[in-house]
Structure 1
Amino acid sequence: MLIKKYLPLNTLSLGLLLTSSIMLTACGGDSTDSTAPSISNLHPNSNAVTQSRQVIITGQASDDVELESVVIMSEEQSITAEINDGSFSATLEASAGQNTYSVIATDISGNETSSEESFYFGAQASAGGAHSAIIKNERIYAWGRNNKGQAGIGAITTINDDPETASAAHPTTPTLISVPSDTSSLIDSEETHFVSLAFNQNASSALDVNGQVWSWGDGDDGQLGLGIADDDLVDETNYTSPQKIENLSDIVSISRGYDHMLLLKSDGTVLAFGDNSNGQLGDGSNLDQDTPVEVAGLTNIVQISAAVSSYAIDTEGRLWAWGKNNYGQLANGVSDSDVHSTPTEINIGEPVINVASGKGHTLALTSSGQVYAWGLNASSQVGMNPSDASDEDEVWDNYVLTPKLLPWFDDVVAIWANGNQSFAQRSDGQIYPWGQNMLGTLGIEEDGNVAEPVSPILELENVTDLGNGALHTLAIRNDEAVFAWGWSFEGSLGGGESVANLWTYRLPLLVSMPED
């Protein structure tokens, strides 16, 4: 870390801060004390991804005499951190995309130290049933299965198409999806810039820098949100290129489930559209919607997560759930086929800071670094299924109907889930997987399901984001390298001719990304 010392200054110009640099300023006070405080262990850092708009900044600060204050600054926010035995924390409200924050520590003599770090709010990697995408420099690169137009290249393609007669080349490697900001004019129109992705099954969505949402792919049940309000018809049209959802703005986060979608607005309310057969839109009904409707009763929401059910976290760390409950996804002690069309609270017992949902199971990360899980457990995606666990004295049921504290770790910093797989990133920077390992979905050499996450994915440290599909996963490392593993189908892993179709790749493969 670069350290620079300066003569006393009356003010500190934040515009001169350099990423990951520290500036020391002696500002009067006790003339015998010219040593500035020290700052270390800032988190989040190195552009790590968060799915919550409410971000807790933590770190350590110390001084050789006495520390007076630690202030966190980001854009228009200036927050005095709480300090406890040298550790500090403060809560910021993130903007969609990249965020930079500064930490300023001051001692009683007026000496100051400043450090700057960055994080990312949104999903830079996303995967569906067998298609994938990465955001690089605010541009979308997509590849993989394209039977419904979900790759977004403007045509329906398959990997077996005859190149001489096909309407477009099938995308088996990362392919730029260029979207004009004005779709009514393809001439002299600026390119749209994107900050977050939401892929699932055969449908795709993306959030742009202006808070607008674009959708393409499979339109079943109105899940693209491209219908006409109040026309009593559900538009199920498939689209082969990104289409902007009209009359929608101020969106800061998106999450795509299995045939429905959630949107988080800047005012903390939630919108939804798509399949509503189990009440997963949260509007008090079970009618499908092809335009966004408001989820009833939710305010001050900071994170959303959609699967076959729906989840949201509010500013107090309370977790809300609604929708399908056939495997106990709502953690209310039962499994049923009822319609659950309004949000109810899941009592975890401590503040929840992140939620991740697979097809039938859910993970919740708390402020203490512990993880709770519940729902379908047939493949040990919650953990310790009798068919997978080695310890017969510690096994869990096929359905876990209330939140189960996972006993393996208390230092988790991020969680991900989809299909029947679960992933946790610990404080050592490594990714620990568990659950269904059919077709190499966990990224480890072992064959068979994993009942407990004791081994990390090898040679995949310092990951900033994962994009989990049903049977394959993407990873972005902090040096911007992209990896993929799992089931190779229709180009899902992005390796082009070097990767076989209909084949299992258990260990991460490096994906070659185009140069901008």
Structure 2
Amino acid sequence: MPPKKRLGDDEATIQQLKRRRKKNGEDVDFGLTDSVESDEEQLDITLEGSLVNGEVLFSGGTNWCMTGRSHLPKGVKNIGGRNLWGPHRISNLCGVRVRTVVSGCVACHSVIITAEGKVMTWGRNEKGQLGHGGTVRKDLPTPVEGLSDEVIIDAACGKNHTLFITEKGKVFACGDNKMGQLGIGHQSTCMSTPVKINYKGPPIRKVACGGEFSMLTDIRGNLYSFGCPEYGQLGNNSDGKYFVTSNKLSYTCDLVPKKVQVFIEKTREGHIIPVADVEIREIACGLNHTIALDSKKRVYTWGFGGYGRLGHSEPKDEMVPRQVKFFDGPTRGAVHIFAGSTYCLALTELGSLFFWGQTKSTGEASMYPKLVQDLSGWRVRSVGCCNKSIVVAADESVISWGPSPTYGELGYGDHKPHSSTVPQEVKTLDGIYIHGVACGYGHSLYLARADTEANREKLERLPIYTP
């Protein structure tokens, strides 16, 4: 029986590959910190975005300056905006076919991608995260002119930055870059127009953004990270801390995408075993933690461990991706993963939705995955994670819950409760089929079916939001 591979064997394996490829007269560039193999850099493929499309509906806070804040930052003027407690159509998107809606659990801005692959953004813009060449907030979806020549298939929103993927697997970034979260090779206050990240390798298929860091995965299933390493959320076995002076702490940020080399599991005895053959299929980020799903339906989490958000039954930070043992075993694998600011969710192959972490500022946290009992029997299709609230599209309904205070992201309506500690159906969307949902810090985006005249008639009964 061969010995189990040790963590330190990565370098030996690469040396073996070097010798073998050199013998065959091939390129031998296998640096441990290199992003990719050079013979994969020139792949010319076309990636597909979402195959569904519909009309965008919106509920939640539209006062982008004050969402999630008790006071305004210096130099920012409050333009105002109200909470939309029920789903609204957006005035300049009525009848526009959209295939993807994007936001993030710590984001106060949103991205939509039209059926033609054109991208529009709106919301908070103090760091240029909308990509419009300035820092003026937008109250309605506005085309990103800097990407007008590209076909965009997906995007991700961090606290103050945004990533966009083109159909060729290239990634463009804009917004705050003080921690290197744009991956462009240097740190700066902000980039208000999209710039291509500093990456050469296989086409990128998925992107995810945390508060001040970013993750990528390519078509080979490799995982890359960059930005702030404070709690180990980059997965490179470091929190990047160093002392500038005897009492001033700072962080060494990764300014370009670097490959995550090691995935581990821990036994009950505390032994660390590397996990082999990891091909990442999905990634999601909370404020300071990350969750990933591989081709074998295994789940990994790492970063800040407070309140059980990593699902390892302990509040310890993890510096490298660690397998969540709950999802390891026959019929226990996960098929989709989701992340909120301080919690995670996973949908298993049997259709069960599991939650761990904490959504309430008081009360007990779930230190390991627990079944969301109220959704047993529902066929979950899409999950959106706000800062504290959760919105789920399942069967013919939308279900949401979240603790107070909320901004309208639950979508219950003007004269209904504004929060709920248990999942409730969103009756304001009765009869409207929702393809998918995406959530920001305090708002929800719904992609509603609009294929038939009957669909459109139901949408026309909803109020229209005009700033």
Tell me which moved more, 322-331 or 335-344: 335-344
The 5 A counterparts of 1:156-167 are 156-158=80-82
Q: Contact 1:203 / 1:216 at 8 angstroms: preserved in 2?
A: yes
User: For 1:490, which of 407, 422, 446 is the aligned residue?
Assistant: 407
1:296 aligns with 2:198: yes
The 5 A counterparts of 1:374-389 are 374-384=302-312, 389=313
Structure ranking higher on relative contact order (CA contacts 8 Å, 6+ apart): 2
Structure 2 SS opposite 1:281? coil
Identity of aligned residues (%): 24
1:453 aligns with 2:369: yes
The one-letter code sitting in structure 1 at the alignment partner of 2:131 is: G
Partner of 2:63: 147
Deviation of residue 269 (structure 1)? 1.1
| 5+ long unaligned stretches in structure 2 | 1-44, 68-78, 241-250, 264-275, 433-457, 460-467
Q: Contact 2:413 / 2:428 at 8 angstroms: preserved in 1?
A: no
Q: Distance in 2 between matches of 1:191 and 1:324?
A: 40
The one-letter code sitting in structure 2 at the alignment partner of 1:345 is: K
Q: Distance in 2 between matches of 1:483 and 1:149?
A: 28
Q: Distance in 1 between matches of 2:293 and 2:408?
A: 33
1:173 aligns with 2:90: no
Aligned pairs, number: 340
Partner of 1:438: 360
Q: Distance in 1 between matches of 2:350 and 2:185?
A: 43
1:240 aligns with 2:139: yes
* Structure 1 residues 464 and 305, CA gap change in structure 2 (3 angstroms): same
* Structure 1 residues 450 and 209, CA gap change in structure 2 (3 angstroms): same
Partner of 1:427: 349
Q: Distance in 2 between matches of 1:511 and 1:240?
A: 26
User: For 2:121, which of 203, 215, 236 is the aligned residue?
Assistant: 215
Partner of 1:418: 340
Q: Distance in 2 between matches of 1:327 and 1:363?
A: 14
* Structure 1 residues 247 and 432, CA gap change in structure 2 (3 angstroms): same
1:404 aligns with 2:313: no
Q: Distance in 2 between matches of 1:194 and 1:179?
A: 12
What are the superposed Cα offsets for residues 338-359 of structure 1, whole Å, 9 maximum, x if unpaired?
A: 2211011112341111111111
Q: Distance in 1 between matches of 2:414 and 2:169?
A: 45
Structure 2 SS opposite 1:408? helix
Q: Contact 1:143 / 1:175 at 8 angstroms: preserved in 2?
A: yes
Deviation of residue 415 (structure 1)? 0.3
What are the superposed Cα offsets for residues 181-201 of structure 1, whole Å, 9 maximum, x if unpaired?
A: xxxxxxxxx943211112233
* Structure 1 residues 312 and 298, CA gap change in structure 2 (3 angstroms): farther
Partner of 1:334: 238
Q: Contact 2:227 / 2:253 at 8 angstroms: preserved in 1?
A: yes
Q: Contact 2:155 / 2:163 at 8 angstroms: preserved in 1?
A: yes
The one-letter code sitting in structure 2 at the alignment partner of 1:223 is: Q
Q: Distance in 1 between matches of 2:138 and 2:50?
A: 26
Give TM-score, length-normalised by structure 1: 0.62
The 5 A counterparts of 1:257-268 are 257-268=158-169
Q: Contact 1:138 / 1:195 at 8 angstroms: preserved in 2?
A: yes
Partner of 1:7: none
The one-letter code sitting in structure 2 at the alignment partner of 1:297 is: Y
Give TM-score, length-normalised by structure 2: 0.69
User: For 1:272, which of 164, 169, 173 is the aligned residue?
Assistant: 173
Deviation of residue 93 (structure 1)? 7.4
Q: Distance in 2 between matches of 1:93 and 1:363?
A: 27
Tell me which moved more, 324-333 or 452-461: 452-461
Q: Distance in 1 between matches of 2:344 and 2:373?
A: 12
Deviation of residue 223 (structure 1)? 0.7
Deviation of residue 433 (structure 1)? 0.5
1:96 aligns with 2:49: yes
Structure having the higher helix fraction is 2
Q: Distance in 2 between matches of 1:476 and 1:150?
A: 28
* Structure 1 residues 472 and 421, CA gap change in structure 2 (3 angstroms): same
Structure number, greater radius of gyration: 1
Q: Contact 2:120 / 2:143 at 8 angstroms: preserved in 1?
A: yes
Deviation of residue 97 (structure 1)? 2.4
Q: Distance in 2 between matches of 1:317 and 1:247?
A: 29
Q: Distance in 2 between matches of 1:431 and 1:470?
A: 19
Q: Contact 1:439 / 1:471 at 8 angstroms: preserved in 2?
A: no
Structure 2 SS opposite 1:341? strand
* Structure 1 residues 196 and 150, CA gap change in structure 2 (3 angstroms): farther
What are the superposed Cα offsets for residues 325-348 of structure 1, whole Å, 9 maximum, x if unpaired?
A: 111111111112222110111123
Structure 2 SS opposite 1:215? strand
Q: Contact 2:46 / 2:167 at 8 angstroms: preserved in 1?
A: no
Q: Distance in 2 between matches of 1:292 and 1:490?
A: 29
What are the superposed Cα offsets for residues 201-241 of structure 1, whole Å, 9 maximum, x if unpaired?
A: 321221111111111111111011111xxxxxxx2111111
**Alignment RMSD, CA only?**
2.3
Partner of 2:260: 346
What are the superposed Cα offsets for residues 64-114 of structure 1, whole Å, 9 maximum, x if unpaired?
A: xxxxxxxxxxxxxxxxxxxxxxxxxxxx9763222xxxxxxxxxxxxxxxx
Q: Contact 2:401 / 2:410 at 8 angstroms: preserved in 1?
A: yes
Q: Distance in 2 between matches of 1:93 and 1:381?
A: 36
Partner of 1:82: none
What are the superposed Cα offsets for residues 127-157 of structure 1, whole Å, 9 maximum, x if unpaired?
A: xxxxxxxxxx621110111112899xxx943
Q: Distance in 1 between matches of 2:401 and 2:156?
A: 22
* Structure 1 residues 298 and 156, CA gap change in structure 2 (3 angstroms): farther
Q: Contact 2:47 / 2:167 at 8 angstroms: preserved in 1?
A: no
Q: Distance in 2 between matches of 1:420 and 1:360?
A: 8
Q: Contact 1:317 / 1:353 at 8 angstroms: preserved in 2?
A: yes
